[in-house]
Amino acid sequence: MLDYALAPYPPQSEETALLKRIDEKRLPAHVAVIMDGNGRWAKQKNLKRNAGHSAGAEAAREITETSARLGIQYLTMFMFSSENWKRPAGEVQFLLDMFYKNLVEQDELLEKNDIKLKIIGDMGKLPGKLQKKLHEVEENSQNHKRLQVNLALNYGSRPEILRAIRRIIAERIPADQLDEATFGRFLYTAGCPDPDLLIRTSGELRISNFLLYQIAYSELYFTPILWPDFRAKEFFRAILDFQGRERRFGSL
């Protein structure tokens, strides 16, 4: 059943009302999120962009905890794309430093909620100190089972697909033995089911090179809410919207 005991919402709040409408038997097993709008959120409040990223980190923490409470099994969050290196150097450095700081503070969150952390993306291009911390947190959480969180860092879906093809060629897998299941083993998300639901915040209507192969049959949910404002209430609305859809996977 849904873990109401861990949900700190007042009995008469909108969050509680939405939570009670969620069908625990029809939860998406895997939710993917494109967390967009930090900069615009900061601009609206006459703050520097970095303030938006800090607020976005708080939203990410809340959605992670909420996913664990709901009973969602996999959560994939687009933290930093392979194209984000094009941003101003100061902003990129702030983001990398923030990722490190947040990882240092994640032990309690991961332990309390029994969360396993997995990094997807090209970690080789990240600073050595950050790489070391990422491996450490992954190792410390590998036996946690309640929720697996995939953090997409220096991730791009086209590079991921090319990487998979190169690895398949290197292992000399015969063409007649290559099927979807085999191909999936060479993706960063190997071992995870494809996302049932993809959420994108901020009102943008594009995928931005995120999980292109994996979202072939995902339900897409776009919201104008900027990421720092996307909290439990908005997440519940996305889940309810998902539960109101009929998934046919190409059949009638």
Give backbone dihedrals phi and psi of 99, rounded to 5 degrees, phi first. Answer: -60, -45
**Among 36, 194, 196, 229, which one carries the catalytic annotation?**
36
Q: Has 113 been annotated as catalytic? A: no
Contact indicator for 115, 70 with CB cutoff of 8 Å: no
Q: Which of 10, 18, 30 is nearest to 148 (CA)?
A: 30
Q: Which of 52, 35, 34 is nearest to 43 (CA)?
A: 52
Contact indicator for 49, 91 with CB cutoff of 8 Å: yes
**Among 3, 38, 84, 154, which one carries the catalytic annotation?**
84
Strand (E) or helix (H) holding 235: helix 232-243
Return left, alpha or beta for 46; rule: phi > 0 is left, psi -120 to 50 is alpha, else beta: left
In 10 A of CB 44, how many CB atoms? 13
Return left, alpha or beta for 37; rule: phi > 0 is left, psi -120 to 50 is alpha, else beta: left
- Cα separation, 141 vs 111, whole angstroms: 8
Our CA angle for 90, 199, 145, nearest 5°, is: 90
Length of the chain: 252
Q: Which of 231, 198, 244 is nearest to 15 (CA)?
A: 231
Q: Has 50 been annotated as catalytic? A: no
- Cα separation, 119 vs 89, whole angstroms: 23
Residues identified as active-site: 36, 84
